[in-house]
Amino acid sequence: MIGNTADDRWALSLYVDGASTSSINAVETVRRVCDEELGGHVDLEVIDVRQQPARAARDQVVAVPTLIKRSPGPPRRIVGDLSESSWARLGLDPGPAGISDEASGE
């Protein structure tokens, strides 16, 4: 069961390439999945590789969009087309029911 502590938060980084169509779709899809599956228990950082190339190099991002799940472990990477929310859900693996209503305080 997920509680309301900082340890229960998801940390995600989404690497995109400016305002390309695939990047815009990835941002929309990942935000929707975060809202629907992780209900406020997520810190999503969107990083434009053109504006922060050193950051992309440090995280070894070689293609965009790339979604990195940093925590909870284990770390995962989803690379490529994120326009389908089912791929993002599968890669994030939020569990069979995502975050429960009880855990979110509802």
Q: How do residues 1-59 score in pLDDT, each as one tens digit?
A: 344 445 579 999 999 999 899 999 999 999 999 998 888 799 999 999 999 999 999 99
* Whether the predicted pLDDT of 99 surpasses 70: no
Q: How do residues 65-93 score in pLDDT, each as one tens digit?
A: 999 999 998 899 999 888 878 777 777 77
Q: Tokens 């779709």 map to which residue?
A: 25
Quote the CATH superfamily of domain 8-92: Glutaredoxin (3.40.30.10)
H or E element in which residue 47 lies: strand 42-48
pTM of the predicted model as reported, rounded to 2 decimal places: 0.78
The Cβ-side half-sphere exposure at 48, using a 13 Å CA radius, reads: 6
Contact indicator for 48, 61 with CB cutoff of 8 Å: no
Contact indicator for 34, 12 with CB cutoff of 8 Å: yes
Domain boundaries, the chain: 8-92
